[in-house]
Copies of this chain bind each other. A is one copy, B any other.
């Protein structure tokens, strides 16, 4: 039982700083060995993980947590195997640390380059999914960082159980178990200490619902890599191939609803709306998607509800779609600029110049031509793994893989060079 959270967090911070030095210098082979050993420990410990998870689940049921939350909280055989498989895949990814680029000789005679290095200590603050514990710890480890993980209080037993597997794996590989520390208390003061802990944490990554992200970014004095909203648009241009438009618009909305890269607003050029919308609307409706449109869209589809101004700024994460008829590409880009969340936006057009303009002028983390917004994803982009999708502009933008967990330092090599 931890009574003095401040003292406990100071100790955690000190250990993390020491461990960060160790893991930053560890060879790729050693880090991979640890990842595989953690995967083995997780597979060997399936029964205990399920039993510990059951404690959280029954407490959750008693507290009356809703079904969706209980589902996210659950660790079953499939999810446990998934955690282990994820770690094994990380072992196969190239190690970003140590890469030296941009080497050149300068007029003074010094050689200057950049070396990719870990960020140091990464704090992860997350909610109910206990698999994040293994997932985030693995990515941070592979990229040479120490980690401080703080999961939701409703998943405390599950997270501690996963943490034990991680510790076993680290020890088996001969690494300090402080490389990954899972906070041992449900006291919320621990989160506060992390948000103020700029001496011992280099970056905080919150993972969870919008209220968590907002709280973390409002209160943190440590830099935050975050994902806030995904209000994604597809714009169907009047020079679109209408079959492509149809398929992309349908896929971007209905492939999955609760994900940040699902389309929330469909923009259609007024010259082709009557050719696309009526048929597409019937398919959405057959799929159970509720449609909310502006006056013109409503005039084309009897089942369309009238959209309010709020609809343009809403991330539904649900089978609901806002539809707006726009005059032209400028009108579409203005709408995206005014109402989008700079996450992912796509144009459907066969016109080269409009495609180029959209690509250049739309200020979003992912900008697409003739592709479904659902492709905005670290795996689809070839990052191998993803710690999240950043809607920030600084440091990491869009899907964040191992490289986003590193930084670059300048290296300078001389032969006794001095400034004259």
Residues of A within 8 A of B (CB): 21, 24-25, 98, 104, 106, 108, 110, 112, 115, 117, 119-120, 202-203, 218, 221, 223, 225, 241, 243-244, 247-248, 250-252, 255, 337, 346, 348, 355, 359-361, 363-372, 374-376, 380-382, 392-395, 397-399, 407-419
Q: Is the CB of B381 within 8 A of A112?
A: yes
Cα A407 to Cα B380 in complex, Å, equals 21
Q: Is the CB of B414 within 8 A of A382?
A: no
| 26 A-B contact pairs sorted by A residue (CB < 8 Å) | A25-B361, A98-B360, A104-B382, A108-B375, A108-B380, A112-B381, A115-B367, A120-B393, A223-B223, A223-B392, A244-B416, A248-B416, A251-B418, A346-B412, A365-B409, A368-B411, A368-B414, A369-B412, A370-B413, A371-B418, A372-B419, A374-B418, A375-B414, A397-B407, A397-B408, A398-B409
Cα A143 to Cα B45 in complex, Å, equals 54
A256's nearest neighbour on chain B, judged by CB, is B419
A202's nearest neighbour on chain B, judged by CB, is B393
Q: Min CB distance, A16 to chain B, in Å? A: 14
Q: Is the CB of A413 within 8 A of B115?
A: no
Q: Min CB distance, A242 to chain B, in Å? A: 11
Given A375-B108, A395-B395, A410-B376, CB of A415 within 8 Å of CB of B244: yes
Cα A112 to Cα B368 in complex, Å, equals 9
